[in-house]
Each structure stands twice: as structure tokens, then as C-alpha cells.
């Protein structure tokens, strides 16, 4: 079977999502770009039972081999097709990100770490039924020029060049969501202005701040 190292990496990362507390049960999914398509986690298989041979190979036309792919394969395919700058898509239902998403709250620049996703906010998409093309379409809008977004009444998507990088991004989004949730209990947050956030983002870019070693 081809891509054994990538398959093993996907399984490891899926299990790490549970270990670090950003996912539960069989929720969430991961994909990695390969030539002419992607590898993606299968549908409805607990991560603690998953092995590399369970990972599904898909083409960009939506065809696949082996197990049935994650129900969210459409946004994985479409993000990879539209974003040549990323090779990994990670989706999870982390608690604080999902909480904000249930109120359709974007995360503004209340803290400089919001810039790690590539802009002065982390957007929240509109709601659409899971597994549909409509969800993929609204996710693409929320991810424009960003490495992460919240999905309305759903969860979060984090992107990366590597599995390690996408997981690190998802953890940062969840941490930032938790901080924002807690700040909101104290009142209206102070927002860093766009000029300073532009400096922050450029500094992050130059220092590879918050990225995995090989990302």
C-alpha cells in the first residue's frame, strides 16, 4: 500500500487530537495532499482502533478506494484544491472554538496570537449541513487568506504544510478561543488595531512564530 508513512502520520495525529483534548469520539477528520488527490480519515471509525490501512485514498473528482471517507471529504478536497499553500486540513470539535461558533462569534484581535491564523481575526463561517457542498463553500470563504476558521454551529478547521503544523494550529485556535470566551465574561475586550496586527503578523512570518519545525 502506498504512502505508508503519511498514513501512519494521519493516524498518529488523529489520536493526538484526542490526547490533547481538542476532539472527542469519532468527531473530526484529517486529510493530507498526495499527487492527484488526498489521503483522509475514514468515516465512523474510532481513532484508537484506526490503523494506517484504514486511511482512504481519494481523487479530486470525489472517487475513492477502500473504506468510506469522512463525511466531510468535500471541504477537505476543496480546500486542498483551492489552497496550493497548504497540504494538510484538520477539522475538530474543540469545546471553546465550537462554543464561539455556536454563537457565530469570530475571534477579533483581542490578543496578538489571533494573528497566527494569518489575519486580524479568525472568522466564523455561516452554518451549513455537515457533509454538504454548502458547508465546503462557506468554509472556503471563511478561510480566505487564513490558516484557520470557525465553522458556524459546528467546530473549527486548521490548515498546515505538515500534520504537526496543522495540529499545532488547531491547538492555538482552541487556546485563543478559550481566552476570548473568558475575556468576554469580564466585558467588552480591548482590540489591537490593524496597523499593530500587521506588524505582529509580519513578525510571526519572519520568525516562523507558532509554526511546527518543518511547517
Radius of gyration of the chain, Cα coordinates, nearest whole angstrom? 17
In 3D space, the residue among 119, 177, 185, 172 whose CA is nearest the CA of residue 151 turns out to be: 177
Residue 72 annotated to the active site: yes
Catalytic residue among 16, 57, 65, 72: 72
pLDDT tens per residue, the chain (215 residues)? Answer: 579 999 999 999 999 999 999 998 889 999 999 998 999 999 989 999 999 999 999 999 999 988 999 999 999 999 999 999 999 999 999 999 999 999 999 999 999 999 999 999 999 999 999 999 999 999 999 999 999 999 999 999 999 999 999 999 999 999 999 999 999 999 999 999 999 999 999 999 888 775 554 55
What is the distance in angstroms between the CA of the first residue and the CA of the last residue of the chain? 26
Write out the three cell numbers for 9.
Answer: 502520520
CATH code: domain 4-207 is 3.40.225.10
| Predicted TM-score of the model (pTM) | 0.94
Beta-carbon-side half-sphere exposure of residue 40 (alpha carbons within 13 Å): 32
Amino acid at each position: 500500500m502506498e504512502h505508508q508513512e503519511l498514513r501512519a502520520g494521519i493516524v498518529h495525529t488523529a489520536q493526538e487530537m484526542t490526547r490533547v483534548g481538542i476532539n472527542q469520539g469519532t468527531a473530526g477528520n484529517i486529510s493530507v495532499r498526495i499527487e492527484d488527490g488526498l489521503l483522509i480519515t475514514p468515516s465512523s471509525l474510532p481513532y484508537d482502533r484506526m490503523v494506517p490501512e484504514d486511511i482512504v485514498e481519494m481523487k479530486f473528482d470525489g472517487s475513492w478506494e477502500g473504506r468510506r471517507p469522512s463525511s466531510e471529504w468535500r471541504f477537505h478536497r476543496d480546500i486542498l484544491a483551492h489552497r496550493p499553500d497548504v497540504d494538510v486540513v484538520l477539522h475538530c470539535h474543540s469545546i471553546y472554538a465550537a462554543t464561539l461558533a455556536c454563537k457565530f462569534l469570530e475571534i477579533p484581535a483581542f490578543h496578538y496570537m489571533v494573528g497566527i491564523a494569518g489575519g486580524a481575526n479568525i472568522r466564523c463561517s455561516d452554518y451549513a449541513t455537515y457533509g454538504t457542498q454548502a458547508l465546503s463553500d462557506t468554509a472556503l470563504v471563511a478561510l480566505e487568506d487564513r490558516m484557520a476558521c470557525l465553522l458556524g454551529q459546528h467546530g473549527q478547521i486548521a490548515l498546515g504544510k505538515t500534520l504537526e503544523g496543522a495540529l499545532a494550529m488547531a491547538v492555538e485556535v482552541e487556546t485563543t478561543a478559550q481566552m476570548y470566551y473568558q475575556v468576554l465574561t469580564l466585558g467588552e475586550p480591548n482590540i489591537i488595531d490593524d496597523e499593530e496586527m500587521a506588524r505582529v503578523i509580519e513578525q510571526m512570518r519572519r520568525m516562523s512564530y507558532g509554526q511546527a519545525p518543518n511547517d
